[in-house]
Amino acid sequence: MRTDVGTQPGSLPAPAMAAWLTMAYRGSQAVIAATKLNVPDALGKGPRTSAEVAQATGTRPDAMHRLLRALAAFDVVRDLGDGRFELTAIGDSLRADAPNSVRPMALMYGSDSSWEACGQLAECVRTGETAYRILHGVDNLFPYLDKDPEQARIFDAGQSASAALVGAVAAQAYDFSGGRRVVDVGGGRGTVLASILKAHPGLRGTLLDLPRVAQGAAAHFASEGLADRATAVGGDMFAGVPAGGDIYLLSHVIHDWGEEDSIKILRSCRRVMPADARLLILDRVMPERVEPSLEVQVKVVQDITMMIAHGTARERTAREFEALLDAAGLRLVRILPTPAPVSLVEAAPA
């Protein structure tokens, strides 16, 4: 067992690093607090002093100075050394009006229900139960959201922001030019499908989700000027999915389910896929062997999040995806990495 310093430049001695990891969540809280207080928006027009930011956000100048100093350490803002602070590219992404703003994601992960659920991780590992079963007596996150409209609103906004980022990545990472119709299974509000259709004008799209969700997707397609190219269908992906597609898309769907349910969803797609169709799974792909890196940290944190919220839901390795596809009558074609911490798993009928 090693107790010397780490191998990365600037790393701490091992005991100090262990201690830091136990409190690193407070750095996340600083970013979330700044987002809730609209600090990125206050800095959106250029550098300001901490007193000016405090005045704009209705906060105390000394406390705001300390918060800005903390944000500077995480490269969210830049300390200019003359009493002023300015946004970095990271901080700019937290502005409410920024293109592809991640502000809704910060508010989602910083919500009271999310923080409370994460505090139950040890009990989730000990019992195998989800945090929402332990805390609220419901199976997972979704029935909890059904009972709390405000938390559901925060969650939906966060998911939509995430989908916008993922959709833009997917539209560029895969060659959709040979396709005619994309069927987006479990496509939510249609953010990902809309991004793909806008990037590929020759494509048409069909989205399947629960009836109440599909209504929102139809409205989203209309607002994006896609009503003539995209339709939203209410239904149950376990029972069946629309025919007529040559590309079937599952964006952040499979990771929501355990093995048995994942295979059912894949089989629903397989039943209507012609021989030359393709299935795309847009999800994180876990490494077979974990080595420390920022990319892997993002993936394992999301895997832990799925365990907390949904129990058997998980991020999977390439081998695990291949096993699911094989059980559903599909074969793995390839896995395409993207600039984001997600990959496109391409499959075809076996």
Phi-psi map region of 344: left, alpha, beta (phi>0 left; psi -120 to 50 alpha): beta
DSSP 100-146: T--HHHHHHHTSHHHHHHHTTHHHHHHH---HHHHHHSSSSHHHHHH
Given the residues 220, 252, 255, 310, the one annotated as active site: 255
DSSP 39-91: HHHHTTTS-EEHHHHHHHHT--HHHHHHHHHHHHHTTSEEE-SSSEEEE-HHH
Catalytic-residue membership of 252: no
Query: E strands of the chain, at which residues?
Result: 48-49, 77-79, 84-87, 181-185, 204-209, 230-234, 247-251, 278-283, 285-286, 316-317, 330-337, 343-349
Q: Which residues are catalytic?
A: 255
